[in-house]
Amino acid sequence: MGFEGVSDNDVTHEQWKKIFDETDKRVVEYLKQGKSVLHETSWTKRWKRDRVRKLASDLGIESVVLYIKVSEEVARERWLKCFNMKVNYNLIG
């Protein structure tokens, strides 16, 4: 699911915080229900990945991070495509 006409730059810092707070809330809720959670994202900063790992570890649940390596060229191409098309797949609908 994505939102056409919306790019990262159209979302304020406060809106991103609200989005990620809601995502964290849902992750914790599902883990407490005993469900498996796949939190797919393109976070390139370790601290961002660690934040989600901590949600699981705080509940005593082991987490696994899958790192899919792509070339810088491919990553830039994908980013530019999303940026130019103004399609954002990061937003919760």
Which pLDDT does position 10 carry in this prediction?
75
Residue that has been written with the tokens 């609908």 in this structure: 93
d(CA 81, CA 59): 38
Which pLDDT does position 7 carry in this prediction?
64
Task: Note the pTM of the prediction, 2 decimals.
Answer: 0.66
What phi-psi label fits residue 86: left (phi over 0), alpha (psi between -120 and 50 degrees) or beta?
Answer: left
Query: pLDDT tens digits, residue range 15-44?
Result: 888 888 998 999 999 999 999 988 877 677
Query: pLDDT tens digits, residue range 38-84?
Result: 887 767 778 888 888 899 999 999 988 787 788 889 888 877 777 66
Residue that has been written with the tokens 């964290």 in this structure: 24
